[in-house]
Amino acid sequence: MKSLPVVFSAACVSRRGIARVAGCLHHTTRRTFSVLAILVALTGMLCVAAAATGDDATRERRYRRFQEKRQEILHGMQSDLLAVEQWCLDREMADAAAEVRRNAEAFAEAESRGSLPRLAAAPISENPSREDQQWQMQLRRHQTERGVEMYRAARDALRAGFPSLAYAMVSDVVRLDADHRQARSVLGYEHFTDPARRDEPHYSGEWVSPFEARMRRGPEPKVDHELYGWIPASDAARYEQGLRPWKGDWISAAKESELRRDFKNAWDVRSEHFLIRTNVSLEAAVRLSRHLEIFHDWLQQNLAGFFETPAVMRDRLEKTDNGRRSREHAAPMEVHFFATRDEYNRRVSGKVPPTIETNGLYWQEDRRCYLFARPDDDDLSTLFHEATHQILDLHTTADRLTAARARARKLRQKGASQWILCEKSNFWMIEGLACYFESFTITDHGVSVGRPDFIRFESARHRLLQPENFYYIPFRSFFGMGKDAWQGHPDLPKLYTQASGVVHFMMHYQDGVYRDDFVALLAAAYRPDPTDFLSEPSFEKISGVKFEELDSQYRLHLLQLEDEALAVESETGTSSP
Protein backbone atom coordinates (compact mmCIF):
# COMPACT_ATOMS: atom_id res chain seq x y z
CA MET A 1 0.00 0.00 0.00
CA LYS A 2 1.28 3.44 -0.90
CA SER A 3 2.40 5.33 2.19
CA LEU A 4 0.58 8.50 3.09
CA PRO A 5 2.39 11.84 2.68
CA VAL A 6 3.87 13.17 5.87
CA VAL A 7 1.44 16.04 6.18
CA PHE A 8 -1.61 13.79 5.96
CA SER A 9 -3.82 13.61 9.04
CA ALA A 10 -4.69 17.27 9.17
CA ALA A 11 -8.15 16.83 10.59
CA CYS A 12 -8.13 13.06 10.96
CA VAL A 13 -8.08 13.25 14.72
CA SER A 14 -11.25 15.25 15.16
CA ARG A 15 -11.48 17.63 18.09
CA ARG A 16 -14.87 16.09 18.77
CA GLY A 17 -13.08 12.78 19.33
CA ILE A 18 -10.99 14.14 22.19
CA ALA A 19 -12.80 13.50 25.43
CA ARG A 20 -13.34 16.57 27.56
CA VAL A 21 -12.41 14.62 30.66
CA ALA A 22 -13.43 15.76 34.10
CA GLY A 23 -14.82 18.98 32.70
CA CYS A 24 -17.37 19.24 35.48
CA LEU A 25 -14.89 19.24 38.35
CA HIS A 26 -15.60 21.97 40.85
CA HIS A 27 -13.15 24.88 40.66
CA THR A 28 -12.15 24.46 44.30
CA THR A 29 -11.26 20.82 43.75
CA ARG A 30 -9.27 21.61 40.65
CA ARG A 31 -7.41 24.48 42.29
CA THR A 32 -6.57 22.30 45.35
CA PHE A 33 -5.06 19.75 43.03
CA SER A 34 -3.15 22.54 41.26
CA VAL A 35 -1.57 23.68 44.52
CA LEU A 36 -0.49 20.13 45.37
CA ALA A 37 0.84 19.63 41.87
CA ILE A 38 2.83 22.86 42.12
CA LEU A 39 4.52 21.57 45.27
CA VAL A 40 5.36 18.30 43.53
CA ALA A 41 6.63 20.14 40.47
CA LEU A 42 8.76 22.50 42.54
CA THR A 43 10.35 19.52 44.26
CA GLY A 44 11.13 18.07 40.87
CA MET A 45 12.57 21.38 39.75
CA LEU A 46 14.99 21.38 42.69
CA CYS A 47 16.18 17.93 41.65
CA VAL A 48 16.99 18.99 38.09
CA ALA A 49 18.13 22.55 38.79
CA ALA A 50 21.73 21.44 38.67
CA ALA A 51 21.24 20.44 35.05
CA ALA A 52 20.77 24.06 34.01
CA THR A 53 23.97 25.59 32.67
CA GLY A 54 25.20 29.12 33.18
CA ASP A 55 24.71 29.73 29.46
CA ASP A 56 21.01 28.84 29.76
CA ALA A 57 20.51 31.35 32.56
CA THR A 58 22.49 33.98 30.65
CA ARG A 59 20.39 33.45 27.52
CA GLU A 60 17.16 33.83 29.49
CA ARG A 61 18.45 37.02 31.11
CA ARG A 62 19.43 38.43 27.72
CA TYR A 63 15.99 37.63 26.34
CA ARG A 64 14.38 39.31 29.34
CA ARG A 65 16.55 42.41 28.90
CA PHE A 66 15.50 42.76 25.26
CA GLN A 67 11.86 42.44 26.26
CA GLU A 68 12.36 45.10 28.92
CA LYS A 69 14.15 47.38 26.45
CA ARG A 70 11.30 46.95 24.00
CA GLN A 71 8.72 47.93 26.61
CA GLU A 72 10.87 50.83 27.77
CA ILE A 73 10.89 52.31 24.26
CA LEU A 74 7.15 51.82 23.76
CA HIS A 75 6.34 53.36 27.13
CA GLY A 76 8.78 56.17 26.35
CA MET A 77 6.81 56.97 23.19
CA GLN A 78 3.60 57.16 25.19
CA SER A 79 5.30 59.59 27.58
CA ASP A 80 6.59 61.65 24.65
CA LEU A 81 3.08 61.98 23.24
CA LEU A 82 1.68 63.02 26.60
CA ALA A 83 4.42 65.65 26.89
CA VAL A 84 3.59 67.10 23.48
CA GLU A 85 -0.11 67.12 24.33
CA GLN A 86 0.60 68.95 27.58
CA TRP A 87 2.81 71.44 25.73
CA CYS A 88 -0.16 72.25 23.49
CA LEU A 89 -2.57 72.52 26.44
CA ASP A 90 -0.22 74.88 28.26
CA ARG A 91 -0.46 77.20 25.25
CA GLU A 92 -4.23 76.80 24.98
CA MET A 93 -3.91 75.05 21.62
CA ALA A 94 -6.96 72.80 22.04
CA ASP A 95 -7.11 71.62 18.41
CA ALA A 96 -3.44 70.71 18.38
CA ALA A 97 -3.75 68.89 21.74
CA ALA A 98 -6.69 66.92 20.34
CA GLU A 99 -4.65 65.96 17.29
CA VAL A 100 -1.79 64.70 19.46
CA ARG A 101 -4.30 62.79 21.59
CA ARG A 102 -5.63 61.08 18.44
CA ASN A 103 -2.06 60.11 17.53
CA ALA A 104 -1.57 58.66 21.03
CA GLU A 105 -4.82 56.69 20.83
CA ALA A 106 -3.96 55.36 17.36
CA PHE A 107 -0.52 54.30 18.62
CA ALA A 108 -2.00 52.54 21.67
CA GLU A 109 -4.62 50.78 19.54
CA ALA A 110 -2.04 49.60 16.99
CA GLU A 111 0.16 48.30 19.80
CA SER A 112 -2.66 46.40 21.51
CA ARG A 113 -4.05 44.95 18.27
CA GLY A 114 -0.69 44.18 16.72
CA SER A 115 -1.64 46.15 13.62
CA LEU A 116 0.55 48.45 11.54
CA PRO A 117 -0.28 51.95 10.34
CA ARG A 118 -1.17 51.98 6.68
CA LEU A 119 -0.93 55.65 5.78
CA ALA A 120 2.34 57.50 5.47
CA ALA A 121 2.79 60.34 7.97
CA ALA A 122 0.83 63.44 7.04
CA PRO A 123 2.97 66.37 5.92
CA ILE A 124 3.57 69.27 8.27
CA SER A 125 1.01 71.96 7.53
CA GLU A 126 2.04 74.60 5.00
CA ASN A 127 2.63 78.09 6.36
CA PRO A 128 1.78 77.17 9.96
CA SER A 129 2.15 79.54 12.83
CA ARG A 130 5.38 79.27 14.79
CA GLU A 131 3.72 77.33 17.61
CA ASP A 132 1.86 75.04 15.20
CA GLN A 133 5.11 74.22 13.53
CA GLN A 134 6.78 73.56 16.88
CA TRP A 135 4.36 70.91 18.13
CA GLN A 136 4.33 69.12 14.76
CA MET A 137 8.11 69.09 14.65
CA GLN A 138 8.26 67.83 18.25
CA LEU A 139 5.89 65.00 17.37
CA ARG A 140 7.85 64.05 14.25
CA ARG A 141 11.16 64.16 16.13
CA HIS A 142 9.89 61.81 18.84
CA GLN A 143 8.54 59.37 16.26
CA THR A 144 11.80 59.33 14.33
CA GLU A 145 14.05 59.02 17.38
CA ARG A 146 12.01 56.25 19.00
CA GLY A 147 11.88 54.38 15.68
CA VAL A 148 15.67 54.54 15.36
CA GLU A 149 16.06 53.39 18.97
CA MET A 150 13.77 50.39 18.44
CA TYR A 151 15.42 49.43 15.16
CA ARG A 152 18.83 49.35 16.84
CA ALA A 153 17.39 47.17 19.62
CA ALA A 154 15.90 44.84 16.98
CA ARG A 155 19.29 44.40 15.32
CA ASP A 156 20.87 43.68 18.69
CA ALA A 157 18.17 41.08 19.43
CA LEU A 158 18.83 39.38 16.10
CA ARG A 159 22.59 39.30 16.77
CA ALA A 160 21.85 37.73 20.16
CA GLY A 161 19.91 34.91 18.49
CA PHE A 162 16.28 36.00 18.97
CA PRO A 163 14.90 36.42 15.42
CA SER A 164 11.20 36.21 16.35
CA LEU A 165 11.62 38.94 18.94
CA ALA A 166 13.73 40.97 16.50
CA TYR A 167 11.03 40.91 13.83
CA ALA A 168 8.37 41.79 16.39
CA MET A 169 10.48 44.80 17.27
CA VAL A 170 10.79 45.75 13.58
CA SER A 171 6.98 45.88 13.51
CA ASP A 172 7.16 48.13 16.58
CA VAL A 173 9.46 50.43 14.61
CA VAL A 174 6.70 50.98 12.04
CA ARG A 175 4.17 51.71 14.77
CA LEU A 176 6.54 54.31 16.20
CA ASP A 177 7.56 55.79 12.86
CA ALA A 178 5.24 54.92 9.99
CA ASP A 179 7.78 56.07 7.40
CA HIS A 180 10.86 54.19 8.64
CA ARG A 181 11.96 52.95 5.23
CA GLN A 182 14.33 50.24 6.44
CA ALA A 183 11.69 48.66 8.64
CA ARG A 184 9.08 48.90 5.88
CA SER A 185 11.46 47.24 3.44
CA VAL A 186 12.29 44.41 5.87
CA LEU A 187 8.57 43.77 6.35
CA GLY A 188 7.96 43.77 2.60
CA TYR A 189 6.06 47.02 2.08
CA GLU A 190 6.49 49.69 -0.56
CA HIS A 191 5.25 53.27 -0.76
CA PHE A 192 2.25 53.75 -3.02
CA THR A 193 0.44 56.94 -3.99
CA ASP A 194 -3.18 56.61 -5.07
CA PRO A 195 -3.68 58.93 -8.07
CA ALA A 196 -7.26 59.58 -6.96
CA ARG A 197 -6.03 60.96 -3.61
CA ARG A 198 -2.88 62.72 -4.74
CA ASP A 199 -4.36 66.19 -4.24
CA GLU A 200 -5.72 65.59 -0.73
CA PRO A 201 -3.90 67.97 1.65
CA HIS A 202 -3.26 65.40 4.41
CA TYR A 203 -2.47 62.44 2.12
CA SER A 204 1.18 61.45 1.69
CA GLY A 205 0.65 57.99 0.27
CA GLU A 206 0.28 54.49 1.73
CA TRP A 207 2.51 51.56 2.64
CA VAL A 208 1.26 48.46 0.83
CA SER A 209 2.49 45.07 -0.37
CA PRO A 210 3.92 44.79 -3.90
CA PHE A 211 0.86 42.70 -4.81
CA GLU A 212 -1.57 45.45 -3.76
CA ALA A 213 0.49 48.11 -5.51
CA ARG A 214 0.36 46.06 -8.72
CA MET A 215 -3.41 45.58 -8.43
CA ARG A 216 -4.04 49.29 -7.97
CA ARG A 217 -1.64 50.54 -10.65
CA GLY A 218 -1.91 50.56 -14.40
CA PRO A 219 -4.49 51.64 -16.96
CA GLU A 220 -7.20 49.36 -15.46
CA PRO A 221 -6.69 49.58 -11.69
CA LYS A 222 -8.49 47.22 -9.35
CA VAL A 223 -10.09 47.85 -5.97
CA ASP A 224 -10.24 45.48 -3.03
CA HIS A 225 -13.99 45.38 -2.52
CA GLU A 226 -15.13 44.39 0.97
CA LEU A 227 -17.43 41.64 -0.34
CA TYR A 228 -16.08 40.76 -3.78
CA GLY A 229 -12.31 41.02 -3.38
CA TRP A 230 -10.06 42.38 -6.12
CA ILE A 231 -12.26 43.50 -9.01
CA PRO A 232 -11.75 46.17 -11.70
CA ALA A 233 -12.63 49.57 -10.26
CA SER A 234 -14.82 50.24 -13.29
CA ASP A 235 -16.92 47.13 -12.52
CA ALA A 236 -17.64 47.88 -8.84
CA ALA A 237 -20.96 49.62 -9.53
CA ARG A 238 -22.26 46.67 -11.58
CA TYR A 239 -21.28 44.20 -8.87
CA GLU A 240 -23.19 46.24 -6.30
CA GLN A 241 -26.23 46.24 -8.62
CA GLY A 242 -26.23 42.42 -8.55
CA LEU A 243 -24.56 41.79 -11.91
CA ARG A 244 -21.65 39.44 -12.54
CA PRO A 245 -19.28 38.98 -15.52
CA TRP A 246 -19.71 35.73 -17.44
CA LYS A 247 -17.94 34.85 -20.68
CA GLY A 248 -17.72 38.40 -21.94
CA ASP A 249 -21.24 39.40 -20.84
CA TRP A 250 -23.04 40.32 -17.61
CA ILE A 251 -25.59 38.11 -15.89
CA SER A 252 -27.47 38.22 -12.59
CA ALA A 253 -25.80 37.09 -9.38
CA ALA A 254 -28.51 34.43 -9.00
CA LYS A 255 -27.80 33.05 -12.46
CA GLU A 256 -24.07 33.00 -11.75
CA SER A 257 -24.61 31.06 -8.51
CA GLU A 258 -26.64 28.47 -10.40
CA LEU A 259 -23.92 28.06 -13.02
CA ARG A 260 -21.10 27.86 -10.52
CA ARG A 261 -22.81 25.22 -8.39
CA ASP A 262 -20.96 22.76 -10.62
CA PHE A 263 -17.39 22.80 -9.32
CA LYS A 264 -16.11 22.80 -12.89
CA ASN A 265 -17.40 26.38 -13.07
CA ALA A 266 -16.28 27.32 -9.55
CA TRP A 267 -15.30 30.84 -8.54
CA ASP A 268 -11.56 31.52 -8.57
CA VAL A 269 -10.62 34.22 -6.05
CA ARG A 270 -7.00 35.35 -6.10
CA SER A 271 -5.37 37.14 -3.20
CA GLU A 272 -1.74 37.86 -2.50
CA HIS A 273 -0.68 34.33 -1.52
CA PHE A 274 -3.77 32.18 -2.14
CA LEU A 275 -6.15 31.03 -4.84
CA ILE A 276 -9.54 29.98 -3.47
CA ARG A 277 -11.61 27.79 -5.75
CA THR A 278 -15.17 27.25 -4.55
CA ASN A 279 -18.77 26.56 -5.50
CA VAL A 280 -20.08 28.02 -2.22
CA SER A 281 -20.16 31.74 -3.08
CA LEU A 282 -17.92 34.57 -4.16
CA GLU A 283 -18.32 36.21 -0.77
CA ALA A 284 -17.31 33.01 1.07
CA ALA A 285 -14.16 32.71 -1.03
CA VAL A 286 -13.19 36.32 -0.33
CA ARG A 287 -13.75 35.80 3.39
CA LEU A 288 -11.52 32.70 3.40
CA SER A 289 -8.81 34.48 1.46
CA ARG A 290 -8.82 37.43 3.89
CA HIS A 291 -8.46 35.14 6.89
CA LEU A 292 -5.70 33.19 5.21
CA GLU A 293 -3.77 36.34 4.32
CA ILE A 294 -3.94 37.55 7.93
CA PHE A 295 -2.76 34.12 9.08
CA HIS A 296 0.05 34.05 6.54
CA ASP A 297 1.27 37.50 7.56
CA TRP A 298 1.14 36.52 11.23
CA LEU A 299 3.30 33.47 10.55
CA GLN A 300 5.79 35.53 8.56
CA GLN A 301 6.21 37.98 11.42
CA ASN A 302 6.08 35.63 14.40
CA LEU A 303 7.95 32.64 12.96
CA ALA A 304 10.42 34.75 11.03
CA GLY A 305 13.31 32.36 11.66
CA PHE A 306 11.47 29.64 9.77
CA PHE A 307 10.89 31.61 6.58
CA GLU A 308 14.39 33.05 6.26
CA THR A 309 17.83 31.79 7.21
CA PRO A 310 19.70 33.65 9.98
CA ALA A 311 22.22 34.94 7.41
CA VAL A 312 19.50 36.45 5.21
CA MET A 313 17.76 37.98 8.21
CA ARG A 314 20.98 39.59 9.43
CA ASP A 315 21.63 40.89 5.93
CA ARG A 316 18.21 42.52 5.75
CA LEU A 317 18.43 44.25 9.10
CA GLU A 318 22.09 45.25 8.92
CA LYS A 319 22.30 46.77 5.46
CA THR A 320 21.08 50.29 4.83
CA ASP A 321 20.11 49.43 1.27
CA ASN A 322 18.64 46.03 2.02
CA GLY A 323 16.32 45.59 -0.91
CA ARG A 324 12.77 44.45 -0.45
CA ARG A 325 11.60 41.36 1.38
CA SER A 326 9.01 39.97 -1.00
CA ARG A 327 5.68 39.18 0.62
CA GLU A 328 4.44 37.34 -2.48
CA HIS A 329 4.60 33.62 -3.00
CA ALA A 330 5.95 32.52 -6.39
CA ALA A 331 2.63 30.82 -7.14
CA PRO A 332 -0.60 31.13 -5.17
CA MET A 333 -1.39 28.35 -2.72
CA GLU A 334 -4.60 26.61 -3.77
CA VAL A 335 -7.54 25.93 -1.49
CA HIS A 336 -10.56 24.02 -2.79
CA PHE A 337 -13.66 24.81 -0.74
CA PHE A 338 -16.69 22.60 -1.48
CA ALA A 339 -20.33 23.37 -0.80
CA THR A 340 -21.07 19.95 0.74
CA ARG A 341 -19.29 17.18 2.61
CA ASP A 342 -20.29 14.70 -0.12
CA GLU A 343 -18.46 16.73 -2.77
CA TYR A 344 -15.45 16.97 -0.48
CA ASN A 345 -15.49 13.22 0.24
CA ARG A 346 -15.60 12.42 -3.47
CA ARG A 347 -12.64 14.71 -4.11
CA VAL A 348 -10.42 13.28 -1.36
CA SER A 349 -11.46 9.69 -2.06
CA GLY A 350 -8.31 7.62 -2.48
CA LYS A 351 -6.25 10.12 -0.53
CA VAL A 352 -7.43 8.95 2.89
CA PRO A 353 -8.53 5.50 4.06
CA PRO A 354 -12.30 5.05 3.65
CA THR A 355 -12.66 4.27 7.36
CA ILE A 356 -11.38 7.73 8.38
CA GLU A 357 -13.65 10.77 8.32
CA THR A 358 -11.85 14.05 7.87
CA ASN A 359 -12.99 17.65 8.18
CA GLY A 360 -10.22 18.96 5.95
CA LEU A 361 -7.00 17.88 4.28
CA TYR A 362 -3.74 19.24 2.94
CA TRP A 363 -2.47 16.81 0.36
CA GLN A 364 1.24 17.21 -0.21
CA GLU A 365 1.33 15.51 -3.61
CA ASP A 366 -0.93 18.04 -5.32
CA ARG A 367 -0.03 20.93 -2.97
CA ARG A 368 -3.68 21.77 -2.22
CA CYS A 369 -5.93 22.16 0.79
CA TYR A 370 -9.42 20.62 0.64
CA LEU A 371 -12.25 21.91 2.83
CA PHE A 372 -16.04 22.02 2.82
CA ALA A 373 -18.71 24.38 4.13
CA ARG A 374 -20.58 23.33 7.25
CA PRO A 375 -24.02 24.90 7.73
CA ASP A 376 -24.34 27.23 10.70
CA ASP A 377 -20.68 26.62 11.63
CA ASP A 378 -18.36 29.61 11.66
CA ASP A 379 -15.43 27.62 13.08
CA LEU A 380 -12.24 28.20 11.09
CA SER A 381 -9.98 25.96 13.15
CA THR A 382 -9.71 23.34 10.39
CA LEU A 383 -8.80 26.04 7.87
CA PHE A 384 -5.88 27.23 9.99
CA HIS A 385 -4.80 23.64 10.74
CA GLU A 386 -4.57 22.78 7.03
CA ALA A 387 -3.05 26.12 6.09
CA THR A 388 -0.26 25.54 8.60
CA HIS A 389 0.71 22.34 6.80
CA GLN A 390 0.43 23.97 3.39
CA ILE A 391 2.34 27.17 4.11
CA LEU A 392 5.24 25.47 5.89
CA ASP A 393 5.49 22.71 3.29
CA LEU A 394 5.36 24.84 0.15
CA HIS A 395 7.74 27.45 1.48
CA THR A 396 10.48 24.84 1.97
CA THR A 397 9.83 22.29 -0.79
CA ALA A 398 12.91 23.34 -2.75
CA ASP A 399 15.13 23.02 0.34
CA ARG A 400 14.08 19.41 0.90
CA LEU A 401 14.58 18.59 -2.77
CA THR A 402 18.13 19.99 -2.55
CA ALA A 403 18.82 17.88 0.54
CA ALA A 404 17.35 14.77 -1.11
CA ARG A 405 19.60 15.25 -4.15
CA ALA A 406 22.65 15.77 -1.93
CA ARG A 407 21.81 12.58 -0.05
CA ALA A 408 21.42 10.65 -3.30
CA ARG A 409 24.85 11.81 -4.48
CA LYS A 410 26.46 11.05 -1.12
CA LEU A 411 24.95 7.55 -0.93
CA ARG A 412 25.37 6.99 -4.68
CA GLN A 413 21.68 6.40 -5.18
CA LYS A 414 19.99 6.71 -8.56
CA GLY A 415 17.66 9.68 -8.49
CA ALA A 416 16.59 11.76 -5.52
CA SER A 417 14.07 10.03 -3.30
CA GLN A 418 11.41 12.00 -1.46
CA TRP A 419 12.59 13.69 1.71
CA ILE A 420 10.33 12.53 4.53
CA LEU A 421 9.67 15.14 7.17
CA CYS A 422 10.73 14.09 10.67
CA GLU A 423 11.22 10.51 9.56
CA LYS A 424 13.32 9.55 12.58
CA SER A 425 12.39 12.09 15.28
CA ASN A 426 10.42 15.23 16.17
CA PHE A 427 7.26 14.27 14.29
CA TRP A 428 5.20 15.69 17.18
CA MET A 429 5.79 19.26 16.08
CA ILE A 430 4.29 18.83 12.60
CA GLU A 431 0.85 17.97 13.96
CA GLY A 432 1.27 19.81 17.26
CA LEU A 433 1.83 23.15 15.55
CA ALA A 434 -1.17 22.67 13.27
CA CYS A 435 -3.32 21.80 16.30
CA TYR A 436 -1.96 24.83 18.16
CA PHE A 437 -3.04 27.11 15.31
CA GLU A 438 -6.58 25.82 15.51
CA SER A 439 -6.83 28.38 18.31
CA PHE A 440 -5.95 31.21 15.90
CA THR A 441 -8.79 33.73 16.12
CA ILE A 442 -9.38 36.95 14.19
CA THR A 443 -11.65 39.57 15.74
CA ASP A 444 -12.32 43.28 15.37
CA HIS A 445 -9.72 43.79 18.09
CA GLY A 446 -6.94 41.91 16.35
CA VAL A 447 -5.53 38.39 16.45
CA SER A 448 -5.29 35.96 19.35
CA VAL A 449 -3.68 32.54 19.47
CA GLY A 450 -3.07 30.03 22.24
CA ARG A 451 -5.91 31.10 24.51
CA PRO A 452 -5.74 29.01 27.70
CA ASP A 453 -9.32 27.73 27.59
CA PHE A 454 -9.06 26.25 24.08
CA ILE A 455 -10.04 22.57 24.04
CA ARG A 456 -6.70 21.30 22.74
CA PHE A 457 -4.85 22.88 25.67
CA GLU A 458 -7.57 21.97 28.14
CA SER A 459 -7.14 18.33 27.16
CA ALA A 460 -3.35 18.60 27.50
CA ARG A 461 -3.77 19.95 31.04
CA HIS A 462 -6.17 17.16 31.98
CA ARG A 463 -3.85 14.47 30.66
CA LEU A 464 -0.93 15.76 32.72
CA LEU A 465 -2.52 17.23 35.85
CA GLN A 466 -5.46 14.97 36.65
CA PRO A 467 -4.41 11.57 38.07
CA GLU A 468 -7.51 9.77 36.81
CA ASN A 469 -6.75 10.90 33.22
CA PHE A 470 -2.95 10.92 33.38
CA TYR A 471 -1.10 10.22 30.15
CA TYR A 472 2.33 11.66 29.50
CA ILE A 473 5.41 10.66 27.51
CA PRO A 474 8.59 12.36 28.82
CA PHE A 475 10.19 14.83 26.43
CA ARG A 476 13.22 12.65 25.63
CA SER A 477 11.01 9.82 24.32
CA PHE A 478 8.34 12.12 22.89
CA PHE A 479 10.81 14.16 20.83
CA GLY A 480 12.49 10.94 19.71
CA MET A 481 9.41 9.64 17.90
CA GLY A 482 9.62 9.67 14.10
CA LYS A 483 6.87 9.49 11.47
CA ASP A 484 6.17 5.75 11.60
CA ALA A 485 6.30 5.53 15.40
CA TRP A 486 3.87 8.45 15.63
CA GLN A 487 1.37 7.41 12.98
CA GLY A 488 1.35 3.79 14.16
CA HIS A 489 1.03 4.59 17.87
CA PRO A 490 -1.95 2.93 19.60
CA ASP A 491 -2.67 6.13 21.58
CA LEU A 492 -2.53 8.54 18.64
CA PRO A 493 -5.27 10.92 19.90
CA LYS A 494 -3.38 11.28 23.18
CA LEU A 495 -0.20 12.11 21.26
CA TYR A 496 -2.06 14.91 19.48
CA THR A 497 -3.18 16.21 22.87
CA GLN A 498 0.33 16.27 24.30
CA ALA A 499 1.79 17.76 21.10
CA SER A 500 -0.70 20.63 21.31
CA GLY A 501 0.35 21.33 24.89
CA VAL A 502 4.06 21.11 24.11
CA VAL A 503 3.76 23.63 21.26
CA HIS A 504 1.90 25.98 23.59
CA PHE A 505 4.78 25.59 26.04
CA MET A 506 7.33 26.34 23.32
CA MET A 507 5.49 29.43 22.13
CA HIS A 508 4.50 30.94 25.47
CA TYR A 509 6.65 29.71 28.37
CA GLN A 510 8.32 32.67 30.12
CA ASP A 511 6.96 35.08 27.47
CA GLY A 512 8.36 32.95 24.64
CA VAL A 513 11.89 32.25 25.83
CA TYR A 514 11.94 28.98 23.82
CA ARG A 515 10.09 30.28 20.77
CA ASP A 516 13.15 30.93 18.63
CA ASP A 517 14.69 27.60 19.65
CA PHE A 518 11.48 25.85 18.64
CA VAL A 519 11.40 27.72 15.33
CA ALA A 520 15.02 26.71 14.75
CA LEU A 521 14.07 23.06 15.30
CA LEU A 522 11.12 23.43 12.95
CA ALA A 523 13.31 25.05 10.29
CA ALA A 524 15.95 22.32 10.64
CA ALA A 525 13.30 19.69 9.93
CA TYR A 526 11.61 21.44 7.02
CA ARG A 527 14.81 22.92 5.60
CA PRO A 528 17.48 20.21 6.12
CA ASP A 529 21.14 21.13 5.77
CA PRO A 530 22.35 19.47 2.53
CA THR A 531 25.89 19.29 3.97
CA ASP A 532 24.80 17.53 7.17
CA PHE A 533 21.66 15.62 6.28
CA LEU A 534 22.58 12.57 8.34
CA SER A 535 22.30 14.43 11.66
CA GLU A 536 18.96 14.61 13.44
CA PRO A 537 18.02 18.09 14.71
CA SER A 538 17.89 18.08 18.50
CA PHE A 539 16.01 20.56 20.64
CA GLU A 540 18.26 19.68 23.55
CA LYS A 541 21.29 20.79 21.53
CA ILE A 542 19.60 23.88 20.08
CA SER A 543 18.34 25.18 23.42
CA GLY A 544 21.12 23.87 25.64
CA VAL A 545 18.48 22.67 28.11
CA LYS A 546 18.18 19.03 29.20
CA PHE A 547 14.94 17.23 28.43
CA GLU A 548 14.47 16.43 32.12
CA GLU A 549 14.43 20.12 32.96
CA LEU A 550 11.99 20.77 30.12
CA ASP A 551 9.68 18.11 31.60
CA SER A 552 9.53 20.06 34.87
CA GLN A 553 9.10 23.42 33.15
CA TYR A 554 6.29 21.99 31.01
CA ARG A 555 4.40 20.88 34.11
CA LEU A 556 4.76 24.33 35.67
CA HIS A 557 3.57 25.92 32.42
CA LEU A 558 0.41 23.81 32.31
CA LEU A 559 -0.28 24.58 35.96
CA GLN A 560 -0.11 28.27 35.15
CA LEU A 561 -2.29 27.68 32.09
CA GLU A 562 -4.83 25.94 34.33
CA ASP A 563 -5.08 29.03 36.53
CA GLU A 564 -5.39 31.29 33.47
CA ALA A 565 -8.18 29.11 32.06
CA LEU A 566 -10.02 29.24 35.40
CA ALA A 567 -9.69 33.02 35.37
CA VAL A 568 -11.19 33.15 31.87
CA GLU A 569 -14.09 30.95 32.96
CA SER A 570 -14.65 33.13 36.00
CA GLU A 571 -14.71 36.31 33.91
CA THR A 572 -16.95 34.98 31.16
CA GLY A 573 -19.08 32.60 33.21
CA THR A 574 -18.54 29.90 30.59
CA SER A 575 -16.51 26.72 30.34
CA SER A 576 -13.95 25.91 27.67
CA PRO A 577 -15.21 25.61 24.08
Residues 286 and 393 in one domain: yes
Please determine, for residue 279, whether its predicted confidence score (pLDDT) is greater than 60: yes
In a domain, 222, yes or no: no
pLDDT of residue 565: 92
Contact 574, 566 (CB under 8 A): no
- Helices (H), ranges, 411-482: 428-436, 455-465, 475-479
Residues 34 and 75 in one domain: no
pLDDT of residue 110: 86
Contact 427, 485 (CB under 8 A): yes
In a domain, 217, yes or no: no
Residues 412 and 432 in one domain: no
Count of CB atoms situated within 10 Å of the CB of 305: 24
Residues 317 and 269 in one domain: yes
Task: Please tell me the distance from the alpha carbon of residue 448 to that of residue 114, in angstroms, as a whole number.
Answer: 10
Residues 479 and 332 in one domain: no
In a domain, 221, yes or no: no
Which residues span the domain enclosing 163? 63-209
Calculate mean pLDDT across residues 181-196: 92
Q: What is the CATH number of the domain that holds 266?
A: 3.40.30.160
The per-residue pLDDT for range 93-134, each reduced to its tens digit, is 999 999 999 999 989 888 888 889 999 998 877 666 788 889
pLDDT of residue 495: 97
In a domain, 57, yes or no: no
Residue 22 — very low, low, confident or very high, per pLDDT cuts 50/70/90? very low
Residues 566 and 526 in one domain: yes
Q: Which of 419, 453, 475 is the last residue of a domain?
A: 419
Give the rounded distance of the alpha carbon of 380 from its chain centre: 14
Residue 418 — very low, low, confident or very high, per pLDDT cuts 50/70/90? confident
Residue 332 — very low, low, confident or very high, per pLDDT cuts 50/70/90? very high
- Helices (H), ranges, 195-260: 210-216, 236-240, 253-260
In 57-200 the beta strands, taken as DSSP E runs, fall at: 190-192
Please determine, for residue 31, whether its predicted confidence score (pLDDT) is greater than 70: no
Task: Please tell me the distance from the alpha carbon of residue 77 to that of residue 92, in angstroms, as a whole number.
Answer: 23
Average pLDDT, the chain: 86
In a domain, 219, yes or no: no
Residues 283 and 404 in one domain: yes
> Residue 84 is inside which H or E element, if any?
helix 54-90
Calculate mean pLDDT across residues 277-305: 95
Q: Which of 368, 393, 419 is the last residue of a domain?
A: 419
Portion of the chain with pLDDT greater than 70, in percent: 86
pLDDT of residue 310: 79
Please, which residues have CB within 8 angstroms of residue 298's CB and are 6 or more apart in sequence?
440, 447, 449
Residues 475 and 371 in one domain: no
In a domain, 215, yes or no: no
pLDDT of residue 7: 35
Residues 380 and 458 in one domain: no
The per-residue pLDDT for range 124-166, each reduced to its tens digit, is 776 667 888 899 999 999 999 999 999 999 999 999 988 888 9
Q: Which of 402, 419, 436 is the last residue of a domain?
A: 419
Portion of the chain with pLDDT greater than 90, in percent: 67
Residues 434 and 414 in one domain: no
Residues 205 and 234 in one domain: no
Task: Please tell me the distance from the alpha carbon of residue 110 to that of residue 569, in angstroms, as a whole number.
Answer: 27
Please determine, for residue 326, whether its predicted confidence score (pLDDT) is greater than 60: no
Please determine, for residue 12, whether its predicted confidence score (pLDDT) is greater than 50: no
pLDDT of residue 115: 85
In a domain, 220, yes or no: no
Residues 392 and 246 in one domain: yes
In a domain, 538, yes or no: yes
Contact 272, 327 (CB under 8 A): yes
Per the structure, the count of domains in the chain is 3
Task: Please tell me the distance from the alpha carbon of residue 410 to that of residue 12, in angstroms, as a whole number.
Answer: 37
